[in-house]
Amino acid sequence: MSSIVTFADKPPEGMIQFGIGQPSADLLPVELMREATEEFFQTAHPEELNYGVLQGDQRFRDSLARFLSKNYGTPVGADGLFVTGGNSQALDFVCSHLSKPGDTIIVEEPCYFLAFQIFADNGLNIVSVPVDEDGLDMDQLAETLKRTRAALLYTIPSYQNPSGRTMSAARRERLVELSKEHDFLILADEVYQLLSYYDPPPDALGSMSDSGTVLSLGSFSKILAPALRLGWIQTSHGMAKRLTGIGAVNSGGSLNHFTSHVVRCAIDMDLQQAHLERLRRIYQARVEAMDAALKECLSSHATWVRPDGGYFFWLRLNENISAQELRHKALERQVGFLSGNLFSSCSGMQNYMRLSFAYYNEGDIREGIARLKPLFD
């Protein structure tokens, strides 16, 4: 596992940094947030600035349930929603509340690299199972479960970060079966589920939360704005109640209660829906620009599958090429990406690179990919 790379600072002038997995400034909805905030204050009752109920504001959960039911295409009940401060916080809280140090968490290989630290902070032992074109490999998972007692399994079922792969419907069902058989909880990070640019993905794992083993983590970071620090867990009613026992929730009340009022207004005014549809159109154009540029510049050096959603292209290079070395050379040419080793918990993925198309427009995407070409000559 490699050291942590984050992008709290903006890239230097002139640099095209495909390592950044964030929306570009033109996609951050300032006007939308102003309208929704004004709407909230126009009708706000002072009590709405008090501590909120532990599971999350009822009116917000009702609005969120309606929004998710429409966009997931499966019924979502407000009773099974628990409001969070986004998926990072949700992961940390769930690990600390539902596992103990020394427990094992199964992760995907490759896996969202910033989750590794959350699992390490909670003293969890990481065991990985590979992802293939249909997502997490269920036969290998079944083998692993024969010899490993796991408390948790972490998966990004749709448009995985970093591989862009989506778990098939059949595998989702098998995963839930295995979780019941082997008594582990599934932490399904469904942060990209709504960012589909072609056919929709299979039903969110959240739709299987009646099983009692699924916690589906969703976030407004990718569909509205990361700064909101607002998300949700869709799970069984019993598990949602159990989460209210988290110490910090008990002490502080509903997580990010104020933001949830504003986002409720954004949902009820249909601003969130319109924004999501805009994001889908714009990201689709960016996916296509990156795919075309890669075909033009890198097709003899790398293979990839065009992602149908999410933020990322995952490029496989020849076995003997180190993406880490290439990354250093790329930075000299004012272009950045993340090397595959960051996403591995077992020192693998050395010859892979992750490119995000979310932070740049089509022109910058073409320019950045053209800068990568000479690195292979």
Ligand X SMILES: Cc1ncc(COP(=O)(O)O)c(C=O)c1O
Of the candidates 166, 225, 226, the residue with the CA atom closest to the CA atom of residue 196 = 166
C-alpha to C-alpha distance for 214 and 117, rounded to whole angstroms: 22
326 CB-near residues (< 8 Å, 6+ apart): 317, 339, 353, 375
155 part of the interface to ligand X, by CB under 6 A: no
345 part of the interface to ligand X, by CB under 6 A: no
Q: Which of 92, 103, 189, 291 binds ligand X (CB under 6 A)?
A: 189
Q: Which of 99, 166, 219, 235 binds ligand X (CB under 6 A)?
A: 219
Report in angstroms how near the CB of residue 203 gets to ligand X at its nearest. Answer: 19
Report in angstroms how near the CB of residue 162 gets to ligand X at its nearest. Answer: 9
Q: Which of 17, 87, 128, 193 binds ligand X (CB under 6 A)?
A: 87
The DSSP call for residue 46 is: G
Q: Which of 32, 54, 107, 191 binds ligand X (CB under 6 A)?
A: 191
Binding mask 223-262 for ligand X (x = CB under 6 A): ---x----x-------------------------------
135 part of the interface to ligand X, by CB under 6 A: no
Q: Which of 23, 29, 52, 86 binds ligand X (CB under 6 A)?
A: 86
C-alpha to C-alpha distance for 192 and 35, rounded to whole angstroms: 25
- Of 86 and 182, the one with the shorter C-beta distance to ligand X is 86
Cα dihedral across residues 291, 296, 298, 304: positive or negative: positive
- Measured in whole angstroms, the distance separating CA 67 from the mean position of its chain's CA atoms is 18
Q: Which of 88, 104, 196, 256 binds ligand X (CB under 6 A)?
A: 88
Could you say which residues in the range 197-216 bind ligand X, by CB under 6 A? none
Of the candidates 246, 211, 227, the residue with the CA atom closest to the CA atom of residue 80 = 211
Give Cα separations from 92 to 17, 89, 154, 291, 373 (angstroms).
Answer: 28, 5, 12, 35, 40
- Of 298 and 315, the one with the shorter C-beta distance to ligand X is 315
- Of 136 and 191, the one with the shorter C-beta distance to ligand X is 191
Q: Which of 18, 112, 197, 337 binds ligand X (CB under 6 A)?
A: 112
CA dihedral 34, 39, 43, 49 (to 10 degrees): -40
221 part of the interface to ligand X, by CB under 6 A: yes
179 part of the interface to ligand X, by CB under 6 A: no
188 forms beta bridges with 155, 216
Half-sphere exposure of 349 (CA within 13 A, CB side): 28
- Asked if residues 170 and 147 have their Cβ atoms less than 8 Å apart, the reply is no
162 part of the interface to ligand X, by CB under 6 A: no
Cβ neighbourhood burial of 277 (10 Å; 0-12, 13-18, 19+): exposed
39 part of the interface to ligand X, by CB under 6 A: no
Q: Which of 19, 21, 56, 202 binds ligand X (CB under 6 A)?
A: 21
Task: Report helix, strand or coil for 312.
Answer: strand
Q: How many residues bind ligand X (CB under 6 A)?
A: 13
Report in angstroms how near the CB of residue 47 gets to ligand X at its nearest. Answer: 27
**Residue numbers of the site for ligand X (CB under 6 A)?**
21, 86-88, 112, 156, 161, 189, 191, 219, 221, 226, 231
